[in-house]
Amino acid sequence: MAHNTNGGSINAPASGQTNPYSSPLEPSFLNKEPQDEFVKEVADWIAYVSQGRNDIEIEAKFGVVLDKSTGTRVAPRLGVLVETIVDPREATNMRFESKLSARQHEHLNRMLNDQVTRTASSSYPHARMAFRHQQTTDDFFSQDSDSKFRVSRDTKTGQVVECIIKKRLGDLHVISPKREVDWRISVNTEEKVDVRSTEGTRPYYSRRKDRMEYMHQHFRIDLTQVTDQANVQTNELEVEFAYPEEVRRILDLRGKDGPEMWG
């Protein structure tokens, strides 16, 4: 008979129950999944920054977090070994560069296209991945420093695809010292506006986008080649919640009882 630290006794398990392979492993001794501190920190931050708004957009872009002073990547010199969230108050001397190499772009394009083909099979047992190819031209018009007024048109037809004012509410930088890329989570608001409000004004900046858009359940993956006014091309990857209203519904459950309670 085993004894506990308070002087009591604990019945030892029967010898037939000592085989560690006799039953499936449980997530913990409480049979509950331990809370993921990283995920909770991101969720808490999104809830705080979104401020109960309904018009939020949440996206993650991939690239590198750089030191503003030196232009070098921050991750190798911060003294952390694994993927880490940077306190926004400590990120004032950092900037994020949303850029992938041509090799990374090619690898991701091939991998995502292969997944579209694989999931299209009638025998595939999981969620399908949809695909759309878009080519647009973006014109940006003057707005305040925290907002961007953008008109997007189909490059071939000139038809307006989107006309919005996008305002940044906050950024959360994540550095990944063991990987080639870091990432940044951004929370924005998007307000649809009438394109006629740009009549008589000239854009201060334009760019062309060749975008591969992949949809998988609640998420949209955008793999984009961007060409600026100087004809310089960059490669970008972003992941976005496809249904903001569902994000808002989940955020509203914070602190309530139920399977989606965040704690």
Give CB contacts under 8 A, 24+ apart, made by 66-70. 66/94, 66/95, 66/96, 66/97, 67/93, 67/94, 68/93, 68/94, 68/95, 69/93
- pTM metric for this prediction: 0.84
Contact between 222 and 212 under an 8 Å Cβ cutoff? The reply is: yes
Full pLDDT tens readout for the chain, 263 residues:
555 666 555 555 555 557 778 888 899 999 998 889 999 999 999 999 988 888 899 999 999 999 999 999 999 888 899 999 999 999 999 999 999 999 999 999 999 999 999 999 999 999 999 999 999 999 999 877 778 999 999 999 999 999 999 999 999 999 999 999 999 999 999 999 999 888 888 999 999 999 999 999 999 999 999 999 999 999 999 999 999 888 888 888 876 554 554 44
Query: For residue 256, what pLDDT is reported?
Result: 59
Query: For residue 16, what pLDDT is reported?
Result: 52
Query: For residue 52, what pLDDT is reported?
Result: 80
Query: For residue 255, what pLDDT is reported?
Result: 61
d(CA 154, CA 68): 35
Query: For residue 263, what pLDDT is reported?
Result: 44
Query: For residue 17, what pLDDT is reported?
Result: 57
d(CA 186, CA 178): 22
Nearest to 184 by CA among 227, 250, 236: 236
